[in-house]
Chain A
Amino acid sequence: MKLGFSPEDETFRAECATWLQAQMAGPFADIKGIPNLVTKVERRKEWEQQLAAHKWSCIGWPEEWGGRNATLAQQVIFAEEYARAGAPGRINHIGVELAGPTILAFGTEEQKARFLPGIAAGTQIWCQGYSEPNAGSDLANVRTKARLEGNEWVVNGQKVWTSLAHFSDWIFVVARSVEGSKGPKGLTFLMMELNQPGIEVRPIRQINGDAEFNETFFTDARCPADSLIGEPGDGWRVAMGLLAFERGVSTLAQQMGFRNELDGIIAAAKANGMAKNAVIRQRIAKAEIGLRLMRYGALRMLSNTDLTAIDGAALTYKIQWATWRRDLGELAMDVLGQAGEIADGEHYEWSMLPNLFLFSRSDTIYGGTNQIQRNLIAERGLGLPREPRGDL
Chain B
Amino acid sequence: MEFVFTEEQTMIAETVRGFFVENASSERTRKAMEGEGIDRALWSAFCTELCLSGIGVPEEMGGAGLGLLELAIVAESAGAQVAAIPLLGHAMVARALVAGGSAQQQAHYLPRLIAGEMIAAYAAAPAVEDKDGAINAVAQFVAHGAAADLFLVASGDRAWMVERGAEGVMVEGHVTMDQTRPLATLTLSGATGELLADGAAGVAAAEQAGWLVLSAEALGAAQQALDTTVAYAKERVQFGRAIGSFQAYKHRLADIMVAIEQARSAVYWAGCAVDEGSDEATLALHAAKAFCGDTAFMAAGNMVQLHGGIGFTWEHDAHLYFKRARSILSMLGSSDWHRQQIAGAILGDAA
Question: B261 touches which one: A320, A374, A379 (CB < 8 A)?
Answer: A320
What's the minimum C-beta distance from B68 to chain A, rounded to whole angstroms? 11
B287, A382: Cβ atoms closer than 8 Å = no
A interface residues, how many (CB within 8 angstroms):
54
Residues of A within 8 A of B261 (CB): 297, 312-313, 315-316, 320
Q: Restricting to A65-92, which residues have a CB under 8 Å from any CB of B?
A: 72-73, 76
Answer whether residue A22 sits at the interface, using C-beta atoms and an 8 A cutoff.
Answer: no
Beta-carbon contacts of B248-286 to A below 8 Å, as 1s and 0s? 001101110110111011101101110010100001100
A5 to B3, CA, bound (A): 10
Question: B245 touches which one: A76, A278, A373, A385 (CB < 8 A)?
Answer: A385
Answer whether residue B187 sits at the interface, using C-beta atoms and an 8 A cutoff.
Answer: no
Residues of B within 8 A of A312 (CB): 257, 260-261, 264
Answer whether residue A148 sits at the interface, using C-beta atoms and an 8 A cutoff.
Answer: no
B3, A293: Cβ atoms closer than 8 Å = no
Inter-chain CB contacts under 8 Å: number:
169
Residues of B within 8 A of A315 (CB): 257, 261
Question: B287 touches which one: A289, A297, A371 (CB < 8 A)?
Answer: A289
A331 to B27, CA, bound (A): 47
Question: B347 touches which one: A269, A373, A377 (CB < 8 A)?
Answer: A269
A384, B348: Cβ atoms closer than 8 Å = no
Supposing A292-B269, A312-B261 touch, asked if A382 and B254 sit within 8 A by C-beta, the answer is yes
Residues of B within 8 A of A281 (CB): 339-340, 343, 347, 350
Answer whether residue B291 sits at the interface, using C-beta atoms and an 8 A cutoff.
Answer: yes
B1, A293: Cβ atoms closer than 8 Å = no
Answer whether residue B316 sits at the interface, using C-beta atoms and an 8 A cutoff.
Answer: no
Question: A276 touches which one: B230, B340, B350 (CB < 8 A)?
Answer: B350
A120 to B283, CA, bound (A): 40
A312 to B244, CA, bound (A): 19
Question: A297 touches which one: B2, B250, B265, B278 (CB < 8 A)?
Answer: B265
What's the minimum C-beta distance from B335 to chain A, rounded to whole angstroms? 9
A270 to B336, CA, bound (A): 20
Answer whether residue B6 sits at the interface, using C-beta atoms and an 8 A cutoff.
Answer: yes
What's the minimum C-beta distance from B79 to chain A, rounded to whole angstroms? 18
Q: Which of B246, B254, B273, B350 has the most CB of A within 10 A?
A: B254
Residues of A within 8 A of B255 (CB): 374
B244, A275: Cβ atoms closer than 8 Å = no
Answer whether residue B40 sits at the interface, using C-beta atoms and an 8 A cutoff.
Answer: no
Question: B4 touches which one: A266, A290, A303 (CB < 8 A)?
Answer: A303
B4, A386: Cβ atoms closer than 8 Å = no
A302 to B260, CA, bound (A): 18
Supposing A4-B276, A292-B287, A377-B257 touch, asked if A284 and B2 sit within 8 A by C-beta, the answer is no
A374 to B1, CA, bound (A): 29
A275 to B343, CA, bound (A): 9
Answer whether residue A40 sits at the interface, using C-beta atoms and an 8 A cutoff.
Answer: no
Residues of A within 8 A of B284 (CB): 292
What's the minimum C-beta distance from A370 to chain B, rounded to whole angstroms? 9
Question: A386 touches which one: B9, B226, B245, B254 (CB < 8 A)?
Answer: B245
A300, B3: Cβ atoms closer than 8 Å = yes
A79 to B298, CA, bound (A): 34
Q: Restricting to A378-392, which residues have a CB under 8 Å from any CB of B?
A: 378-379, 381-388
Residues of A within 8 A of B247 (CB): 371, 374-375, 387
Answer whether residue A347 sits at the interface, using C-beta atoms and an 8 A cutoff.
Answer: no
A281 to B345, CA, bound (A): 11
B4, A1: Cβ atoms closer than 8 Å = yes
Answer whether residue A296 sits at the interface, using C-beta atoms and an 8 A cutoff.
Answer: yes
Residues of B within 8 A of A292 (CB): 266, 269, 283-284, 287
What's the minimum C-beta distance from B288 to chain A, rounded to whole angstroms? 9
**A–B pairs, 22, beta carbons within 8 Å:** A1-B3, A1-B5, A72-B1, A284-B343, A285-B340, A285-B342, A289-B291, A290-B262, A294-B262, A297-B265, A313-B261, A313-B264, A374-B251, A375-B247, A375-B251, A377-B254, A382-B244, A384-B253, A385-B241, A386-B245, A387-B247, A387-B250
- A-B pairs with lowest CB-CB distance, top 7: A378-B250, A285-B339, A281-B343, A374-B254, A385-B245, A377-B254, A296-B265
